[in-house]
Amino acid sequence: MKQHQKLTVVLCLTWIVTLLYGEMFAFWIPSLLSCSWPSPSSSSTATDGAGDYVKVAVLADPQLMDRTSLRLPPKSLALEIAQFYTDLFMRRAFFASILPFKPDVILFLGDQFDGGPYLSDEEWQESLSRFQHIFGLKNQRRYKDIQVYYMPGNHDIGYSSLHSHKPEVVRRYEKEFKMGNYRFTGGKVEFIAIDALTIDGNQDGNLTSATWDFIKNVSVDVQSLPRVLLTHIPLYRKDWAPCGPHRTSPVINQRILRAVYDQEILYQNYITEESSIRILDLIKPVLVLSGHDHDQCTVTHKSNSGTVKEHTVGTLSWQQGNLYPSFMLLSASNSALSNTSNLEEAVSTHLCFLPMQTHIYIGYLLLFILTLLSLLAWPTCMRFWRHCSDLVGYSKQLISCNIFQGGTKEKNEDENCEYEMIWDAEGSMHLVKKHVNTPMKNSSDKGTVERGNATMRPTAKKIISQEMEVRMNVDMNVDESMTKLPIRTSKSKIKLIIHRLVQAFGMLIVIVAVNIPLYMMLLFKDWIEP
């Protein structure tokens, strides 16, 4: 096989392995190697000895891109491509990294859409259809044994300042995703979901008062089970509060914007400190889960009932400012606790990371550049490596003659060694070692020149003289051929360059013909509904 054919095969195989990893294997790693269901501490100390738990997959901020995301014209090609690749990543993440864990409950912590409050009914329905396709919600058989719960986010229904002006936005959301305040039980753990977007609104508003009434009703109930508080907006944290080892972006401090005319919330990073303390005192959760921040954060809050840990789960999308998308696996004990003072032992969590899609695309780009350079420079590369191998061979021959052995060489009077210089057909010089039993020292032998143990024999001397004569003849004839040589050399170089470009283009066509169908197959096999 010729050298350029070998290079083509190597590049094809490299691309195949890279595409298989970037489009398929990378999404299997969380489910196979780096992630697993945590086991609650209570499962080993349960009173009924059941020792099992309910498995809850927690997802945050899918935030499906739309015309409000990148300020691109609706239905434009750029927007369609951005939506497709963003949706495809989340669909792969869900089916290859999350669903294989076989969760009993799937919980969305809000921001299912991006520009939800500002989309027309037609656009909103289109985003809803995409959302259902990404997470396979249209296939009822798949969710036969899985419960799915949703929470409203600010990108779904907006903040309290919008609710009074566009109540139809809230009604449209609740028609599909149900109310923002609810509670459900998973195993022996109670999950309390609150509509955090209305918490700090005007107390006279219907939605705000409804949320606080729900929280008060929860607080008056006898707490027989440990509670997990679910909120889209995180609880208040102090400025520059550390977020733990999983944080990759700078910490975001509290920021609240209010409307001038009615002081309703326009935007906020966290629930206010007063409201946060009040919620913790009324609900008394053992754990708080939140989203909104798009990055991972773990903080500990203090309340009258003790300390409670809050996990802010990072976004599921690679287009929402976080290079390390993530999801959380939560295990809720399915057994009654023997010690009511350690209710937090009923819940365990494990944060799992998804592939870094940006790094995968950067890898594709670097491999493409390397492919082009290899195809354009492969003759030079081959010649360079051939010269390197020749140099290594010469070095081995010299070492075998003990020229560089030990740094110093003691003279051995019992051995006389001769080295004959031999030129091969390519013009490379070789030293051939020969042993002489009896050294011949004759003053009449003027054709031999000695230095140390190396002897230049007449044969070598003759070859050198012949080579010098040839070089002199060449130098003498340079002037005569000076007018013809540049033209011939220039033409030959142009022909060589054209030949190499054509050959490189042909090699590139072969690589593309092999890998483009593979890429398209991998691309659409995950997008088409099975």
* Domain edges within the chain: 51-355
Task: Please state, for a pLDDT cut of 70, what percent of the chain lies above it.
Answer: 75
Q: Are 62 and 133 in contact (CB under 8 A)?
A: no
| Residue 409: band (very low, low, confident or very high) from pLDDT cuts 50, 70, 90 | very low
341: nearest Cα among 185, 227, 226: 226
Asked whether the predicted pLDDT for residue 232 surpasses 80, the reply is yes
Residue 431 pLDDT: 63
* Higher per-residue confidence, 262 vs 228: 228
* Higher per-residue confidence, 289 vs 335: 289
pLDDT digits (tens, 9 = 90+) for 338-357: 565 567 788 999 999 999 99
Can you tell me the distance from the alpha carbon of 113 to that of 11, in angstroms, rounded to the nearest whole number? Answer: 41
Cα-to-chain-centroid distance, residue 383: 37
Report CA-CA distances (Å) from 296 to 237, 324, 354, 488, 495. 14, 9, 13, 67, 59
Phi and psi at 296, nearest 5°, equal: -75, 140
Residue 143 pLDDT: 86
**265-268 vs 297-303, strand pairing mode:** unpaired
User: In CATH, which superfamily holds the domain spanning 51-355?
Assistant: Metallo-dependent phosphatases (3.60.21.10)
Asked whether the predicted pLDDT for residue 74 surpasses 80, the reply is yes
pLDDT digits (tens, 9 = 90+) for 430-482: 666 666 555 554 444 444 444 444 444 555 455 555 555 545 554 555 445 44
Cβ-Cβ contacts under 8 Å for 279 (sequence gap 6 or more): 194, 199, 215, 229, 231, 235, 271
413, amino acid identity: E
* Higher per-residue confidence, 400 vs 442: 400
pLDDT digits (tens, 9 = 90+) for 159-207: 988 988 889 999 999 999 998 999 999 999 999 999 999 999 888 778 8
Can you tell me the distance from the alpha carbon of 392 to that of 518, in angstroms, rounded to the nearest whole number? Answer: 41
Can you tell me the distance from the alpha carbon of 396 to that of 405, in angstroms, rounded to the nearest whole number? Answer: 12
